[in-house]
Amino acid sequence: MSATQPTIPDRGMPSGALRLLFLSIEEVMGSDGIKAVLNGAKLSHYINNYPENSLEYGVTFGEYGRVEQAVEDFLGPRGARAILIRVGRELFRYSLREQSALLGIAGNALKNMPLISPQAKMKILLQQIVGAANKTVNQPAHLEEDHDNFIVVIDQCMCQWRPKHEKPCCLVTVGTFSEAMKWLTDRPVEVKEITCLNNGADACRYQIPKKLPEEA
């Protein structure tokens, strides 16, 4: 881990959000994997004792960031990349299964809506996710778009409590948006984090192309 430690005050988030991250890591890395990660993050009190499934602000952005960082430290930056993206994909699937009502995400009703374009559906789902980030997760965010792309802009992120990276490091979020778009459109959509608070930008921005890849 690099030496830079953040000094900004920590920020509350719902216990259920950190719980969801743990469940997703466990799904991808196994029960020994999540144990190693929690030990590495110096959060071993959560081993076999996940935060409750609640929207109360019982945990912090700093804790969430430390867990992401511990995955990276455990696997090395290269190895961690694919794993963190898979964790993010899992996280979307869990949210959709367990918490779609709570998050205000329309799920299958949206996916199966006739007569509107995939791009219109993408916009609706992205707006719902951004709404949930604002309302539920304590994470200010909004959606922008230009001719070719949707851009999700996130103004406060767990990466602000992680050591500095040279490149954008919010791979769990990249995975979450990738899976959301894949689930919705049945196509692989290439989501990129184009700016990151962690390395000095004013926001984390995720670029989601409107043009879908051709069906295989």
Neighbours of 124 (CB within 10 A): 16
- Which residues fall within 8 angstroms of residue 135, CB to CB, at 6 or more apart? 104
193 closest CA partner among 171, 176, 211: 171
85 closest CA partner among 167, 179, 149: 179
Closer CB to Zn ion, 76 or 200, in the complex? 200
Closer CB to Zn ion, 178 or 198, in the complex? 198
- Which residues fall within 8 angstroms of residue 28, CB to CB, at 6 or more apart? 83, 86, 87, 90
How many angstroms separate the CA atoms of 183 and 121, rounded? 11
- Could you list the residues that contact Zn ion (CB under 5 A)? 157, 159, 170, 196, 198, 204
Closer CB to Zn ion, 28 or 170, in the complex? 170
- Report, in Å, the least distance between residue 138 CB and Zn ion: 16
Closer CB to Zn ion, 99 or 198, in the complex? 198
Residues 33 and 1: beta-carbon distance below 8 Å: no
- Report, in Å, the least distance between residue 119 CB and Zn ion: 25
The DSSP-derived string for 157-175 is: -GGGGS---SS---HHHHH
Closer CB to Zn ion, 69 or 185, in the complex? 69
- Report, in Å, the least distance between residue 117 CB and Zn ion: 30
How many angstroms separate the CA atoms of 62 and 90, rounded? 21
- Report, in Å, the least distance between residue 169 CB and Zn ion: 6
- Report, in Å, the least distance between residue 63 CB and Zn ion: 16
- Report, in Å, the least distance between residue 199 CB and Zn ion: 8
Q: Please give the angle made by the CA atoms of 26, 31 and 34, to the nearest 5 degrees.
A: 60
Closer CB to Zn ion, 173 or 185, in the complex? 173
